[in-house]
Structure 1
Amino acid sequence: MALLTEAIILGLLTGSVYALMASGLTLIFGVMDIINVAQGIFVVLGAYLSYILEQHLHIDLFLGLFITMPFMFFLGIGIEWAFIRRIRQNRVMLSLLVTYAISLVIEGLLNFFFTASTVRLNASYVDASFPVFGFYISYMYLFTAVMSIALLAALYFVIYRTRFGYSMRAAMQNRTAAMLIGINVERVSGITFGLGVALTAAGGMAFGATNAFNAASSYDLISRLLVIIVLGGMGSLRGSMVASLFMLVIGAVTDVLWSPVWSSTVFFVLLVILLIFRPQGLFGKVEGRKQ
């Protein structure tokens, strides 16, 4: 029973981090109608940036986010302007090819500079833990969960309580109508892409502090994130958050009750079962959006 409780708590803590990473992917799809398959490598890039700051400049992992998140934000804006904005037709298919190419380029650069050896972020509190119900929880899991919740709350504030958020939601509903009422959809798209990529800096730091990683880690990450946003409903922030918590708890419980070998497989099995009965996902809409 203690092991099961531990698995559920760890699943919830880890799920909050995945919710942060998936929310960026969902936001980009919701506003821009593109699937950013480079999101996984952006997470790994964020982890490596935190690694550089911590190892070479001795900057605390959380303080380093004040450097890595703005860097990733402007990187995202630059990538959107240089590559994504040029896509005028067949946006979904071409965005897959473009973002996959970007992912390959970044992966190659990371392998060149850091080799294929795995690394992990270190800090005095990374391996420290505290007792809960007879077992120990790492402080890092708790800190990253609190950070993720705080950033998600800030994201919700931006979307629902700011003028830019109103423009963003208008673009999510109907890009053409948003342009007709005077919203600069290209500007909104660029900032949205930047925000989605900036969130990977925080997600990457959390991932790198709790897992050994290298450039190839992006493949497992993007596969999980895509499952999460499809399960939650394409374009639904609430759905991506609920799906993240659900999938990570199920995976952690599978580790305990069955075998760690099957924890990743459960992601895809549950997705297939759900899509049979609810093709639009947990919180997705049945009807397609107008363009």
Structure 2
Amino acid sequence: MGTELAKAVVDGVLTGGVYALMAAGLTLIFGVMEIINIAQGVMVVLAAYLSYTLQVHAGIDPFVGLLITIPVMFLIGVAIEWVFIRRLAPRDRTALSILATFAVAIIIEGILTQAYSGDLRSLDAWYVERSVHLLGFYLPYIYLFGFALAVVLLAALYLFVSRTRTGYSIRAAMQNRAGAQLVGIDIDRVSAITFGIGAAATAAGGMVYGATNTFNPDSGYDLISRLLVIVVLGGLGSIGGALVAAILALVIEDVTAVLWSPVWASTMFFAVLVLVLVFRPTGLFGQRAVRAQ
């Protein structure tokens, strides 16, 4: 039991890092634009299909394929912001964004179904099937590589937001959108870049998700429910909160599966959110002072 429990904790940490990467894009979009991107889960699946296409038809390794899928997803994100989001009325932006991004999700799902059918797919590579003996048990290479990728990209995102000129503009928009406009920041440009970054984050998350799970065009709905829980639990707008919340939620889920029952594991994932919000309605890192940290 001790070994199984330790493995559950490690699995939760490794999986949580990847979920944090996907959720970081979602929370960044909300922090800057005050919109809830319901399409984030489907965009993860879209990224998984892009990696699948590159691997099957061009023989490109999924990790190498990120050099293509990350820029492509960034451009898709910018296009979605320009076509569907920018024209929303500012007063009702948050509420209308749910409908707009849900429409985006339906469109992407329909395109994927038409192109790939509803059959389950998965990514395949040597590191998907092989494991390494570590800490007394075997860990799949894909989880280790995926966690390392998530840490690198999250660190790069943090440095971009906290150390670059564009990052300063993003942080200013997160803290006070109207004030940022008054000092000359181009909010439309910042919003497009932010949505693009949020979509680009799904490229890496989608690749790892596709290598560790079977997926089809409908898989995005389960993903978005989990990502929204992570974002709210960590605190809306907090990148660091998304990382802590993702690891916490996934560890609790995996430990519950070992100590209690796999049937209750998913329930505990959502129960943690309710418990935290009862005592801390803003989430773990929901104060304005720590947003974008």
**What TM-score, normalized by structure 1, do the two folds share?**
0.97
Report if the CA contact (8 A) 2:175-2:288 is conserved.
no
Q: State which of 248, 252, 272 in structure 2 corresponds to 1:246.
A: 248
SS of the aligned residue for 1:126 comes to helix
**1:53 alignment counterpart:** 54
The 3-state SS of whatever aligns with 1:36 is coil
**Structure 2 CA distance, aligned partners of 1:17 and 1:261?**
23
2:193 matched residue in structure 1: 191
Aligned pairs for 1:128-143 (under 5 A) are 128-143=130-145
The residue number in structure 1 matching 2:36 is 35
1:63 Cα offset (Å): 0.5
Give, in whole Å, the separation in 1 of the partners of 2:216 and 2:63: 20
Partner of 2:261: 259
RMSD (CA atoms): 1.3
Amino acid at match of 1:40: G
2:271 pairs, out of 266, 269, 278, with 269
| Structure 1 position 261, deviation (Å) | 1.7
Q: Secondary structure at the match of 2:64?
A: coil
Amino acid at match of 2:80: I
Q: Provide runs of 4+ in structure 1 moved above 2 Å.
A: none
More helix by share: 2
Candidates 123, 127, 142, aligned match of 2:125: 123
Distance 1:67 1:49 in 2: 9
Which letter maps to 2:247? Answer: L
SS in 2 for 1:137: strand
Residue 147 of structure 1 is matched in structure 2 by 149
Deviation at 1:56, TM superposition (A): 1.2
Q: How does 1:29-178 map to 2 (within 5 A)?
A: 29-88=30-89, 89-178=91-180
How many percent of aligned residue pairs carry the same amino acid? 58
The 1-side partners of 2:269 and 2:251 are apart by 11
- Structure 2 length as normaliser, TM-score? 0.96
CA drift at 1:133:
2.8
Gaps of 5+ in 2: none
Name the structure 2 match of 1:22: 23
Q: 1:286: Cα distance to partner?
A: 8.0
**C-alpha contact 2:27 2:231 (8 A) present in aligned 1:** yes
Distance in 2 separating the partners of 1:114 and 1:253: 35
Aligned residue in 1 for 2:181 = 179
Instruction: Return 5+ residue gaps in structure 1 as ranges.
Output: none
Q: Secondary structure of 1:90's match?
A: helix
Tell whether the 8 Å contact from 2:231 to 2:245 is kept in structure 1 after alignment: yes
Q: Is the 8 A contact 1:2 1:133 kept in 2?
A: no
Name the SS of the counterpart of 2:86 in structure 1: helix
The aligned amino acid for 1:63 is V
Shift of 1:241: 0.8
| AA aligned opposite 1:38 | A
Distance 2:135 2:287 in 1: 41
Taking the aligned partners of 2:236 and 2:168, their CA distance within structure 1 comes to 20
8 Å Cα contact 1:280-1:286 kept in structure 2: no
- Match for 1:11: what amino acid? G
Match of 1:285 in 2: 287
Give the letter for the 2:271 counterpart: V
Match of 2:214 among 212, 215, 232: 212
Note if contact 1:72-1:194 (Cα within 8 Å) is conserved in structure 2. Answer: yes
Deviations along 1:258-280, whole A, 9 cap, x unmatched?
A: 22222111111111121111111
Letter in 1 for 2:250: L
Alpha-carbon separation, structure 2, partners of 1:56 and 1:274: 46
Q: Secondary structure at the match of 1:131?
A: strand
Aligned length: 288
**Is the 1:120–1:208 Cα contact (8 Å) retained in structure 2?**
yes
Following superposition, the deviation at residue 253 of structure 1 comes to 0.8
Output the amino acid matched with 1:244: A
Amino acid at match of 1:79: I
Contact 1:159 1:168 in 2 (8 A): yes
